[in-house]
Amino acid sequence: EPGSSIMPGKVNPTQPEALTMVCAQVIGNDTAVSIAGATGHFELNVFKPVIASNVLQSALLIGDACVSFTDKCAVGIEPNLPVITQHLENSLMLVTALNTHIG
């Protein structure tokens, strides 16, 4: 989306940033689930509610974030094949294969 008035033409990467925030929340939920699973005792785990809540919240967050990112960011992106080819041909990655021959 459009950026600030002091930087004309700036585009803020709000969708990738939102996706990153969702990832941070899901990582936090995973940590809570891990602690709850490790702290509970077998079938009597009193932490089951926090486990269920965090797993469900994570699934919903990831699903909604993927739909939003697809609709508002990824749709319409097309590869620029000449530029991709140029970058590939100029990449040092190609000389890695020579390592076994030149050391």
Pinpoint the alpha helices (H) of the chain.
14-39, 48-69, 81-89, 99-102
Structural domain count of the chain: 1
Averaged pLDDT score across all residues of the chain: 90
* Domain region containing 63: 14-78
Q: What is the mean pLDDT of residues 9-34?
A: 94
Domain assignment present for 30:
yes
Is the model's pLDDT at 97 over the cut of 80? no
Which residues have CB under 8 Å from 32's CB, separation 6+?
A: 50, 54
Q: In this predicted structure, what is the pLDDT of residue 103?
A: 66
As a whole number of angstroms, the distance between CA 99 and CA 90 comes to 17
Q: Is residue 93 part of a domain?
A: no
* 102 occurs within a structural domain: no
Phi, psi angle pair for 6, to nearest 5°: -85, -10
Across 51-64, average pLDDT: 98
Question: 52 lies in a domain?
Answer: yes
Q: What is the pTM of this model?
A: 0.72
